[in-house]
Structure 1
Amino acid sequence: MKQKYERPTIRKMNTGFMNKFGTRTDFDPVSEIDGISVKSLVKQYGSPVFVLSEKRIRKNYQAAVRSFKTRYPKVQFAWSYKTNYLNAVCKIFHQEGSWAEVVSGFEYHKALGNGVAGNQIIFNGPDKKEADLVLAIENHSLIHIDHFDELYQIIRICEQINKKAKVAVRVNFDTGVYPIWDRFGFNYENGHVWTAINKIVTSGNLELVGLHCHIGTFMLSTSAYSVAATKLCDLAMRCKNELQTAIQYLDLGGGFPSTNTLKGAYLPGVDTVPSVEEFAEAITNTILNFSFSTDELPLLILESGRVLIDDAGYLIGSVLANKRLSDGRRATIVDFGINILFTSNWYDHKISVAKEAGQYTEETVLFGPLCMNIDVVRESINLPLLESGDHLIVHKVGAYNMTQWMQFINMRPSVVLIDQKGQSHQIRTPETLEYLEMMELLPDHLK
């Protein structure tokens, strides 16, 4: 019997990005994190739940320090509080020898509360309140000046309290990466930074101890750091020769990327992101090859954040439902949205299933549970067929999600730390309605 003719169709197949090793897929099940099963973590702490690996945090930090200290004699890391300021996380970095880098009075007080000595706190940011500046001056903290108004304010405060402030200037410049980050600090090319330096040196009650830059976030160019280091070294040498002021440290800021994949990237982050060692090579070679004598080499400070913690963070969630969209695509709704996975706005996070699944996969849109059309965790990902209650693991979420998250429709979940012995600890409890309403006040006429 002659079979019925069916017209051939062409269907787009998303089999994963290609690299030099072949095709990459993200479907290998992840049933445990640091020896603890995903199922037991959900049972104990609920879903969704953030999980942090203490072992991975410490390994990342130790490897980064080693990358720089094997190339340069004087190195100090300062943990970027804005990246993840949960006290348990900060304590780990401080135990490893990291100073604190903060960008607000709130973070400054957290650092003090975590036992960081005042002279080991770097105070950055454009919005430092007067009371916080007074405290920082009295604690001998390193204040990085962002603009002229702040410079004049610090001079006035020092006169009023009869104290001397240890300061640095934040510098912005053209490193060949565009757009230029010129919103923060004083510009190198137009001479504003040299004007600021002169005002500091001649003020009488400010001590210029350092030069600071932060050239951008998620930087993929190691050569940009070479340019930045060269310009900071040039300023340091001018301070010595023209103002007889020795610069004690150069702070190259942060910006080193994790291996997350940026949205729209042609290749995955693991194939394109330079290693910390490559950044270390570019920065330290530049400083060592400058005209400093051995005894006048400045301390090198790094304020790295995401590269030290991103891959130590996981988000476990659960499937709520599946449906078909009008164009035929499969849609899966999960119990975590962009309100707690803020970085899904710019990353295509790797997402794994927590159980063995069949070989069949399908292009899927991954939606969060919020009543907002923009609540899209992944616009397109190939996943095996999932059922309600199945668990998913989002990888490399340790940076910024636990500081930029927000309560919206759903409350913020637990955060769990797995220690080096494989024991889990709740380091932030899930929000409750009582907690949410603590700050509310009801006028008498509405009671």
Structure 2
Amino acid sequence: MSRFAHPAGDRHAEMLPHERPPLAPADLNRINHAIWPRTSTRTDGALTIGGVDVRDLAEQYGTPLYVVDEDDVRSRMREYATAFAGSDVHYAGKAFLCKEIVRWLMDEDLGLDVASGGELAVALSVGFPPSRITLHGNNKSAAELRRALEVGVGHVVVDSFEEIARLGYFAEQMDVRPRVMVRVTTGVEAHTHEFIATAHDDQKFGLSLNTGAAAEAVRRILALPQLELVGLHSHIGSQIVDTAGFEVAATRLATLLVQIKDEHGVVLPELDLGGGYGIAYVEGDVAPDIKVIADALREIVEKVCTSSGLPVPRLTVEPGRAIVGPGGVTLYEVGTVKDVEGLRTYVSVDGGMSDNARTALYGAEYTTVLASRESDAAPMLSRVVGKHCESGDIVVRDHYLPADLAPGDLLAVAATGAYCRSLASNYNYLPKPAVVAVSGGRARVIVQGETEDDLLRGQL
């Protein structure tokens, strides 16, 4: 069974050096393209991404620095569009959203999911077609709903009885008829971390299939002529690499579709199975083949609908991490190297949990390398930590790095394109790093880094 079938961090116990697998020095310099961006390589010993030397990036833009391989991200957008041809692919903006990412989505003809008014504003600011936007959220504000109706978003995924009434009221006031979907909690347990499993009943998202709340939500929507119910939505969690959970969820949703047809004489034309497809973070991880996933999901939907006597609805999927995660790398400069005898070496860098909260939140695992040069020194078991006043301020919990690592060296951490910038904070008043896109030997800033002036702005 894949490690993605278990909560992040379960596999990773606290291990002494003699308990961990041995590595050859050459392994420390290797760039595994299952984990690192597709254009990454070593040139004259240094890591290059998109044809750009990371030493030049650090010198020009400083560290910490988020680096996004544009060719990698765009290629994954195209692969999803191709694999799911005839279906709708909506990028989950919560993974990482900025104006330039939205422009890439427009170029590659993908849709977009937003989970707040702020994310909606980013999309609208560069002219993204509202009809290709889906609004999510378990507690959408009145202002967010009004703005969504005003601009004409393609779908609103309703998440509560209160929201149905609120949305119906605003739709009547504004004389519009939004297309809505019901977010259904199917009771499918995605075997992932508690905080990113989203389809069990005891959590904040959606309306339960088991308790009848989802069926009641359908009744309430159909009773409001100002709302157009077009489908059901389900999201079972994140960092998933097989289709077993999706098959169970689709089967249970088909049961509800049959119930809707029998009770109301209504056949819903759309089915959204969400996203959550996993990526590789460390050696041994195997990310799913998206074509295999796409073919399997289509087969599942066709099978469950045909067996239930239903026409096959149009399928929508919502990849986020799987599109932007692998193409992102974070650069750090080493500050302090501290040996804790008999245990491991603590490598302190100039960022930390303010630019990558996932290790502290989820026990996430990452791969890191010495990026500014190659080394033939022996491996040393290292813990890469940040500069915050928290003992839990860990970037990479345990990883081998060369024993000659020294202050001033650059470290690169792979697969940080998703959720790292989105979850970034100013803890201890650290400014958020810049985001730089690289392609064809050139780099450009797509999100400016913060300054001390930014941190002080707004204070009286």
TM-score, normalized by length of structure 2? Answer: 0.84
Matching of residue 93 in structure 1 with residue 105 in structure 2: yes
The equivalent position to 2:357 in structure 1, one of 342, 347, 352, is: 342
Please give the residue correspondences for 1:24-423 in structure 2 after superposition, counting only pairs within 5 Å.
25-28=27-30, 31-69=47-85, 74-141=86-153, 142-177=155-190, 180-182=199-201, 183=203, 184-261=205-282, 268-270=284-286, 273-291=287-305, 296-325=311-340, 327=342, 329-345=344-360, 346-354=363-371, 355-384=373-402, 385-409=404-428, 410-419=430-439, 421-423=440-442
Shift of residue 406 of structure 1? 0.7
Return closer, same or farther for 1:164/1:24 CA change in 2, 3 Å cut-off: farther
Return closer, same or farther for 1:291/1:50 CA change in 2, 3 Å cut-off: closer
Number of residue pairs matched by the alignment: 416
Per-residue CA deviations over 1:124-166 (Å, capped at 9, x if unaligned) read: 1112111221222233321111011111111222333333222
2:63/2:433 contact within 8 Å kept: yes
2:115/2:137 contact within 8 Å kept: yes
The equivalent position to 1:12 in structure 2, one of 18, 39, 58, is: 18
2:180 and 2:127 mapped to 1: Cα distance?
Answer: 22
Shift of residue 295 of structure 1? 11
2:46/2:55 contact within 8 Å kept: no
Shift of residue 200 of structure 1? 0.9
Amino acid at match of 1:302: V
Provide structure 1 residue ranges, at least 5 long, that are not aligned to the other structure: 1-9, 262-266, 442-447
SS at structure 2 position matched to 1:138: helix
Amino acid at match of 2:445: Q
1:309 and 1:121 mapped to 2: Cα distance?
Answer: 18
Shift of residue 210 of structure 1? 1.7
2:81/2:110 contact within 8 Å kept: no
Return closer, same or farther for 1:268/1:11 CA change in 2, 3 Å cut-off: closer
Per-residue CA deviations over 1:104-137 (Å, capped at 9, x if unaligned) read: 1111222221312222210111121112212222
Shift of residue 278 of structure 1? 3.5
Return closer, same or farther for 1:191/1:328 CA change in 2, 3 Å cut-off: closer
1:149 and 1:23 mapped to 2: Cα distance?
Answer: 59
Structure showing greater radius of gyration is 1
1:51 and 1:432 mapped to 2: Cα distance?
Answer: 18
2:111 and 2:320 mapped to 1: Cα distance?
Answer: 12
2:328/2:415 contact within 8 Å kept: yes
Shift of residue 60 of structure 1? 1.1
2:97 and 2:259 mapped to 1: Cα distance?
Answer: 37
Partner of 1:444: none
1:38 and 1:63 mapped to 2: Cα distance?
Answer: 27
Shift of residue 98 of structure 1? 1.1
SS at structure 2 position matched to 1:12: helix
2:97/2:422 contact within 8 Å kept: yes
1:218 and 1:405 mapped to 2: Cα distance?
Answer: 20
Shift of residue 297 of structure 1? 3.1
SS at structure 1 position matched to 2:102: helix
Shift of residue 292 of structure 1? 5.0
TM-score, normalized by length of structure 1? Answer: 0.86
2:182/2:232 contact within 8 Å kept: yes
1:321/1:334 contact within 8 Å kept: yes
RMSD value over aligned CA atoms?
2.5
SS at structure 1 position matched to 2:296: helix
Shift of residue 290 of structure 1? 3.5
SS at structure 1 position matched to 2:354: coil
Shift of residue 219 of structure 1? 2.1
